[in-house]
Structure 1
Amino acid sequence: MPDDLYLLAGRYRLIERLGQGGAGTVWRAIDEILDRQVAAKQVRVPEGLTPRERAEFADNAIHEARSAGRLRDPAIVLVHDVVLEGGQPWIIMDLVSGRSLDKVIKEQGPLPPGFVAAVGLRVLSALEVAHAHGMLHQDVKPANILLDFDGSAMLTDFGIATPMGGQGGRFGGAGSPGYMAPERLNEQPSSPASDLWSLGASLYTAVEGRAPFERALPAAVTAAVLLHEPPFPARAGRDFGGLLMAMLAKDPAARPTAAQVRQALGALAGPAPVPRRRRWLVPAVLAAAVALGAGGWYAVGALRGEPEIGKFATAPDPCKLLTDEQAAKIMKAKPAREATRPGECQWILRDGGEDGRRRIVVRAWAERPDGDLGGTQVAQRRFASEKTSRAGAEGTVMREIRGSVSDVPGIGESAIIQNSFKAYINSDATGWSDSTVLFRTSNVLGEVVWHRENVPVSDPADKEPALAVARLVSAVLSK
């Protein structure tokens, strides 16, 4: 391998550019630690941002990509890592073979309705997992739907997913006008219904061979989405066409729910493709189930060699991992507790007096088996990846200083801590400080952030509160 190829974060060797779009540029890369090919997405940073806005954009991109990395579904292209280099966010994902749905449409024209409905079911499964975790995809379109050789579909580009209820595009946002729901174009709050609208537009394109709001100019496409109804999709048939028209309703409240879409697509879909993995085991496993009778299902799992889940079947509620009394003792005042999003809880002192606002954030998520790896192994891999990427972010970028990553004994099965400080835009003397502890217990990863504001640059680190909370949280998880 040529030594002059760019090495990202001291780990990912960029090989070739695979594609470029509004949300960024995707490269084929080699993970030199695990010796495997990956896709590295260079997230597009909007032009015209101030240094503070650019830093905030990078922070948000990294946080949301890490949240998206927790999503697990056979139809989701996995996010493995996220790194920040020179103020530029990068997202590391599975490198998936196959062709995008938009290329298949260009080559073959309109696709059979039953096949398109089956594709829709797979994509819907991915969206339902994301929505259950409080995430919106925000860029469902044919170019982000990949088809394998057997016709099974996967949804990619979850690295730009955003929390539910967010306003559309403060930094420009992602998405293609013809596949963005009307509320997003109007910069109104997004919801799961917004992703379902985009799914409807994508399926319409697949079954008709053209987009529902196809126009010559982007501005005309936007106007059509906002003001006009698409032609009824004649090739889809009455039932499928009626479903697509309902999914493309201007009013989010008038669109069918995910459950209703699933029921309708299930009745329309052609035969689902048989998964490639362990296909040869199916007859033997079914025969074993019949022979073993009531105890068969346990034995079937053993015959299939299914990887272990880990100690936690589901992610624990972070609000139950730390009591209000414990938080008050550490913060030396009574905080307000808020469940901010799935998998996250925080205790806030909004009026911290001379010390400024302070906040404890607790996050927890459970890793699921992935292929032949058990949940604990996936969590170990995720922890190692996070440790590498956070260590690679050490240094000073504009007004932010990230310290080194240090191992912490006695918290979970493995733990690290890192301090960071960001100076205010109007002051080099003060800013906000975070001390972050990441730890792993079995297949659960936990994160504790001790956040302080109005911190003097001479005293940026205060790790003891973060360590104290992490010890309490990990003790609960270890019971």
Structure 2
Amino acid sequence: MTREVMPGRRGRPRLARRTGPAIRRAIDHAFAILPVMAESLGEPLASRYHLLRPLGSGGMGRVWLARDPVLDREVAVKELRLPDGLGDRERAELVARVMREAEVTARVRHPGIVALHDVLVQDGRPWIVMELLRGRDLAAQVASYGPLPYRQVADLGARLLDALSAAHAQGVQHRDVKPGNVFLSADGRVVLTDFGIARPAGQASITEAGLLVGSPGFIAPERLAGDRGGPAADLWSLAATLYTAVEGVPPHQGTQAEVIAATLTRDPRPPVLAGPLGPVLTRMLARDPAHRPDTGAALATLRRIADGGTPGPEAGAGAPAGPVRRRRWWIAAVALAVAAAAVPLTAYALRDGEPGTPPPRVSPVFTRAVDLCRALSGAQVRRFLGAPADPHPEKAGCQWAVTGAGVELGAETDSDTPEPWALDLASARTLMQGLRRQYASGPRDGDLIWYEVGLNQKTQVIESAARDVPGLADEAFAVDVTTPEGTAKAAWVYFRLGDLVAVLRYAHLDVTSPAGLRDEAVATARSAAGGLSGLA
């Protein structure tokens, strides 16, 4: 593809038309939350915590963004919502559950476990004051970017297992380790959240007898079978979480009952993207807890893989292989118990997309050249272009094109770095800022030629101002490329993924709407970013 951008007279800005809908959406959102805020805002909670706005809600209550003027900081406040019509016993049980969450969380001090600041009861309801996390959970990360690189997942696993070990040392089980309860904080921490169903070993559950609490697909087989479980059950749940992160799907899929039955009776599909992490995940997911590695061996193996090494023989340490103890599997009863289980509230953090939330800093590091032609699969290319297209490698790039549509993916670098793979994180951020500044002053004129797509003659185009694309890689912006009359011709998407800066150029001559073409380009860039994450 040949692309020429020639300086000339400035195009006419169209900012008023483009920002109008966004402003209207913001106004609508403000009016939508006013009744909620008016209902609960008032006197400070416990004469101290000023509730600012709701962050989220779940089956058991609501989470608030609040301010603590005593310590001059923002906090997350979890409010228990007691359903109408509860008897004294049920009300006491719910209150006990939240108070137990506070007790258990406060007992364990670790940077990988969310910190508890205060707990109180006001107006007959318990409130828990916790640290405010900024970032996103692992489930959202995988949903946005797809499977994560195995070394990154091994590092996450090592940090989470270290946090679980601290809890186990205090006699505390988590019992609901899953991607939604793993928070990737903007300050680089990996935080295990929601100890709401955690309990000390040996303490009876506050739920009714036979009621299983947890998330199907992430509950260890022995707990599904009715055992109390122990640290080995948390290890299994962690392995299921890491499997989901590296493979993009959980170990077992299907309906709730199908997942439970599979967990009890079948081994997961062997990992295909996990590399050297695969064998240790397989052992951690053994249905018999006696065949899982102990915590120390698993932690050492995860750290070794995260550092670029290979698993040692101790990764499989555990009880010698022998006859598996026969169990009775009450699958139907367990399925009913899980379906009826109370699900604790998990969202006590500012998620990505909340005002003032920086993006999560969990990104791959590119230390060597990668084949950009592997960033998109054949099926993805067919979907985005409407027809199959073979990849054509270019210098630090790749192109897929058919008559009427094309994609070009390239890696960018600065004047001081000969190869894009040699950029460090600081240089990549600076480069991204420079690229953004090129489009900061508004639309500019240029000429576009892309022979492979069918643009065989110079076409006068106008490149729009940069438009931020939230949730794509670490940072991203898009540029519309249109005729002076406003007909879409192409769209560029620049994004930074760790220390790699890339640009995706997209054209589809059947799409004439700038917004529609931009949406297609952004979707293609998301897929490419996910593919690149797996190549680091």
TM value normalised by structure 1:
0.51
CA distance in 2, matches of 1:174, 1:84: 25
Aligned positions, number:
270
Q: Which residue of 2 aligns with 1:264?
A: 301
Structure of higher CA gyration radius: 2
Matched letter for residue 200 of structure 1:
A
* 1:195 and 2:234 aligned: yes
2:243 to 192, 201, 204: 204
Q: Which residue of 1 aligns with 2:262?
A: 224
2:193 to 139, 143, 156: 156
Distance change >3 Å, CA 166–CA 180, structure 1 → 2: farther
Q: Which residue of 2 aligns with 1:19?
A: 56
CA distance in 1, matches of 2:196, 2:131: 11
CA drift of 1:49 comes to: 5.9
Distance change >3 Å, CA 31–CA 118, structure 1 → 2: same
CA distance in 2, matches of 1:248, 1:263: 17
2:133 to 78, 87, 96: 96
Could you give the per-residue CA deviations for residues 183-238 of structure 1, whole angstroms, max 9, x where no partner exists?
333332121111111110110000001111122x222222222222210111002x
C-alpha contact (below 8 Å) 2:65/2:77 kept by paired residues: yes
Distance change >3 Å, CA 49–CA 229, structure 1 → 2: farther
C-alpha contact (below 8 Å) 1:167/1:188 kept by paired residues: no
CA drift of 1:252 comes to: 2.1
Q: Which residue of 2 aligns with 1:52?
A: 89
Q: Secondary structure at the match of 2:180?
A: helix
C-alpha contact (below 8 Å) 2:199/2:205 kept by paired residues: no
C-alpha contact (below 8 Å) 1:120/1:265 kept by paired residues: yes
Matched letter for residue 243 of structure 1:
V
C-alpha contact (below 8 Å) 2:154/2:305 kept by paired residues: yes
CA distance in 2, matches of 1:174, 1:45: 19
Matched letter for residue 76 of structure 2:
A
Matched letter for residue 206 of structure 1:
A
Distance change >3 Å, CA 258–CA 58, structure 1 → 2: same
Q: Which residue of 1 aligns with 2:216?
A: 177
Matched letter for residue 212 of structure 1:
P
Distance change >3 Å, CA 68–CA 150, structure 1 → 2: closer
CA drift of 1:56 comes to: 3.9
1:233 to 271, 291, 299: 271
Distance change >3 Å, CA 24–CA 221, structure 1 → 2: farther
Q: Which residue of 2 aligns with 1:243?
A: 280
Q: Secondary structure at the match of 1:84?
A: strand
C-alpha contact (below 8 Å) 2:96/2:206 kept by paired residues: no
CA distance in 2, matches of 1:37, 1:174: 31
Q: Which aligned pairs between 1:48-447 and structure 2 lie closer than 5 A?
A: 50-149=87-186, 151-166=188-203, 170-171=207-208, 172=211, 174-215=213-254, 217-237=255-275, 239-270=276-307
CA drift of 1:267 comes to: 1.3
CA distance in 2, matches of 1:263, 1:47: 50
C-alpha contact (below 8 Å) 1:77/1:154 kept by paired residues: yes
1:5 to 21, 26, 41: 41
Could you give the per-residue CA deviations for residues 217-264 of structure 1, whole angstroms, max 9, x where no partner exists?
222222222222210111002x31111121112222222111111011
Matched letter for residue 181 of structure 1:
A
C-alpha contact (below 8 Å) 2:176/2:219 kept by paired residues: yes
Q: Which residue of 2 aligns with 1:417?
A: none
C-alpha contact (below 8 Å) 1:24/1:44 kept by paired residues: yes
Q: Secondary structure at the match of 1:157?
A: coil
CA drift of 1:146 comes to: 1.5
C-alpha contact (below 8 Å) 2:104/2:200 kept by paired residues: no
C-alpha contact (below 8 Å) 2:104/2:195 kept by paired residues: no
Distance change >3 Å, CA 198–CA 166, structure 1 → 2: farther
CA drift of 1:22 comes to: 5.1
CA distance in 2, matches of 1:202, 1:169: 26
Could you give the per-residue CA deviations for residues 130-178 of structure 1, whole angstroms, max 9, x where no partner exists?
1111111122111111113465412122354211134567255643112
C-alpha contact (below 8 Å) 1:169/1:187 kept by paired residues: no
CA distance in 1, matches of 2:236, 2:303: 18
Q: Secondary structure at the match of 1:80?
A: strand
Distance change >3 Å, CA 128–CA 161, structure 1 → 2: same
Could you give the per-residue CA deviations for residues 310-337 of structure 1, whole angstroms, max 9, x where no partner exists?
xxxxxxxxxxxxxxxxxxxxxxxxxxxx
Q: Which residue of 2 aligns with 1:423?
A: none
CA drift of 1:80 comes to: 1.2
Q: Which residue of 1 aligns with 2:12?
A: none
Distance change >3 Å, CA 11–CA 190, structure 1 → 2: farther
Distance change >3 Å, CA 25–CA 139, structure 1 → 2: farther
Q: Select the structure with the greater relative contact order (CA < 8 A; seq sep ≥ 6).
A: 2
C-alpha contact (below 8 Å) 1:58/1:87 kept by paired residues: no
CA distance in 2, matches of 1:65, 1:160: 11
Could you give the per-residue CA deviations for residues 376-404 of structure 1, whole angstroms, max 9, x where no partner exists?
xxxxxxxxxxxxxxxxxxxxxxxxxxxxx
Q: Secondary structure at the match of 2:110?
A: coil
Distance change >3 Å, CA 257–CA 165, structure 1 → 2: farther
C-alpha contact (below 8 Å) 2:66/2:75 kept by paired residues: yes
CA distance in 1, matches of 2:172, 2:228: 13
Identity over aligned pairs, percent = 48
CA distance in 1, matches of 2:189, 2:293: 24
C-alpha contact (below 8 Å) 2:97/2:206 kept by paired residues: no
C-alpha contact (below 8 Å) 2:93/2:207 kept by paired residues: no
Distance change >3 Å, CA 35–CA 91, structure 1 → 2: same
Gapped regions of structure 2 (runs ≥ 5): 1-33, 309-536
Matched letter for residue 252 of structure 2:
F
CA drift of 1:51 comes to: 1.1
Q: Secondary structure at the match of 1:17?
A: strand
Distance change >3 Å, CA 71–CA 170, structure 1 → 2: same
Distance change >3 Å, CA 259–CA 46, structure 1 → 2: farther
C-alpha contact (below 8 Å) 2:138/2:179 kept by paired residues: yes
